[in-house]
Amino acid sequence: MKRYISSILIVVVSLFSIGTYYAQVTSYASNLPKLTFKTIEGDETELESVLVSGMYEEGSSNESFRLESNQLKYAKERSYYENLLGYYDPNYNRLVKEYRSFMRGKAFIETYYEDQDNLTIVTMNGDDKNGKYSLNFIIDSLAKKNKEEKSFEIDVPEQAKYENIIVRDVQFVQSKLQILTQNDVKTDNEKDTDEIHLYTIDLAGKKVVADETLLSETFDSSNEGHFAMPSKVDRGMANHVFLLALVKGRYSEEGGFTEKKRESSLYAYHYDTKKLEKIKIPNEKDITFESVESDFSVDGETLYVTGWEEGMMHILTFDIDKQKVINDYKPGSVDFTEIKDGRIFAITADELLIVDAKTGKTLYRGKLVKDSHGQKKDKNYLIQLHDVIIK
C-alpha cells in the first residue's frame, strides 16, 4: 500500500511542478515585448513560409526568439521538447509529429525520401562482425496508407574495397530507390582514391540491382584536392539534379587549402536521364568551387551561387539545362541568405528581404520592430537577427 501511495505522490508532485513551471513561463512571457515585421514594401503573405531567429536585448537582459509566419515565440516560451531538440528543422519536426511511432529512435536524419505514399530513410551501418568489418545500407520505410513499417539491411557490393561510405542523396526513380554515395577506397600508400557511386535498390527484393561509378579521382602530393557537394539540399524532396564538384588545389602545412580554379570542375548528375554533365560557369563571374558546400544550391534545373565582389554579396542564378546565366543579383550589405523555390531570402540586423531570384524583383521587405501598443514608452533596445529558415 505504501508503495502505491508513494507512486501517487510522485505523480502529483510532478504534475504540480509542471503546472508551476508553465505558470511561471506564462507570467514571464507576458512581460516580454511583442516583436513583429513592419512591412516596408511587397506582400506580407510571403512571410507565411519564413522562420527567423534572433536576439532581443534591453539593458542588461537578453532573450533569444523565433518568429515563424510572423508569430513570435521566445526561448523560454518553448516547450521542454522544443528546447531539447535544439536546432530547428521544420521537416524533421513535422515528421516526428505526423509519424511519431516510425520516427522513434531516429534523433537525426539527413538522407531520406518522402512522397505522398511512402517515407524512406537510408543510413550507413559500419559493423565489425566476427573480426570482419562490414558496410551495409540500413533502410527504414513506412507505407503511409496502411502504416506498415519495414526495416532491413542490404550489403554494399564489393565492400571490402572501401574504408568508408557516406550517403549523400536518396531519390526514387522509376520505382527504384537511388542512393548516391561518396566512397573512400582503401589504399596501401600515400594515395587517396575517392569515388562517387549511384546504387539502385530493388526494395521488394531487398537487393542492390545496379552499382555505377559516376566519378573517380586519386589524390596524392602531385594531385591534391577533394570532392565537395552542397549542404543546401532539400532533403526528402524529389530532386532531379544532384550537384558535385571536383576541387583541385594545394594544401598548406597548416592545413589550409588554396584552390586552383582552372583545374577544378563542377558537375550535375541528372537522375532521369542518368547523365553526368560538366557545368561551365563564365570565367568573368569569378566563382570558386571550394565553397560549394555552403554557397551553392540547386532547385530543379536552376543553380544558385553566392559570391562576393569587393566585399559585397552577389547571387548568381544559372540555368543548368541551357548552361546560361539568368541573373546576377546584388542584394547589398546583408548578413545571411537562404534560397528556395526561386526566392532569395536575405536578412540584416533587423530587416528581411525576399526577392525573385530570376528577375531580381523585391517580393517583400520588412523591418522587425517592437510593438509598443499598450506598453510604457520604449527604452533603448536592440534586435539582432541571426538566421532564416524556409519551411
pLDDT of residue 17: 46
Report how far residue 117's alpha carbon sits from residue 131's, in angstroms, rounded to the nearest whole number.
40
* Residue 15 confidence (pLDDT): 47
pLDDT score of 285: 73
Who contacts 148 (Cβ-Cβ below 8 Å, separation ≥6)?
Answer: 142
User: From the centroid of its chain, how far is CA 382?
Assistant: 29
Q: Domain extents for the chain?
A: 1-31, 32-88+300-391, 110-234+240-290
Low-confidence ranges of the chain (pLDDT < 70): 1-30, 79-88, 129-131, 232-235, 372-379
Q: What is the pLDDT of residue 189?
A: 80
The CATH number of 32-88+300-391, from 3.20.20.10, 1.10.10.10, 3.40.50.300, 2.40.10.480, is 2.40.10.480
List CB contacts of 315: < 8 A, sequence separation 6 or more. Answer: 304, 305, 306, 307, 328, 329, 330, 331, 337, 339, 344, 357
Quick one: pLDDT at residue 225? Answer: 95
pLDDT score, position 211: 97
